[in-house]
Amino acid sequence: MVYLLVLVSVAAMSASQLLLKKGLLVVGHFPQRPGEMVDFFLKACTNPYVIIAVFMTILTALAWLVALSKAELSRIYPFMALSYVLVALFSWMIFKEDVSLLRWSGIAVICLGVLLVSRS
């Protein structure tokens, strides 16, 4: 049950980041002039992708709180690194971001580390 909650937290956090990125692609770049910042934040805070991302962040926190109350932090926290894997994979697939071989290698090392921690 604990590991399911951790995976829900990882998936929700990753989805939140992807939704924020999608929302900000719609809203546009952060403005350089202070006078444009209010308009930027209004657009961002009313963007459906950003709103859903905020709710996903809340889901992340709730699942994490329950998991943390049931397991040792040193045992479950390394699983949060799996969000790097999911975000890189889906950024590459959805946003066509360039993920270099070196970055994929680092992600493989992260996966190996999570595997080692889970077996200890």
Q: What is the pLDDT of residue 120?
A: 72
* Burial status of residue 102 (CB atoms within 10 A of its CB: 0-12, 13-18, 19 or more): exposed
Contact 27, 40 (CB under 8 A): yes
The reported pTM is 0.86
pLDDT (0 to 100) of residue 79? 86
Taking the chain (120 residues) in runs of 10, the rounded mean pLDDT of each run is 92 96 93 89 95 96 95 88 92 94 93 83
pLDDT of 115: 86
Amino acid 81: pLDDT: 87
* pLDDT computed for residue 61 by the predictor: 95
Q: Are 20 and 52 in contact (CB under 8 A)?
A: no
One-letter amino acid at 5 equals: L
Domain ranges of the chain: 2-119
Please report the pLDDT score of residue 32 as a whole number. Answer: 87
Q: What is the pLDDT of residue 94?
A: 95
Chain-centroid distance of CA 36 in Å reads 27
Return phi, psi of residue 99, to 5°: -115, 110
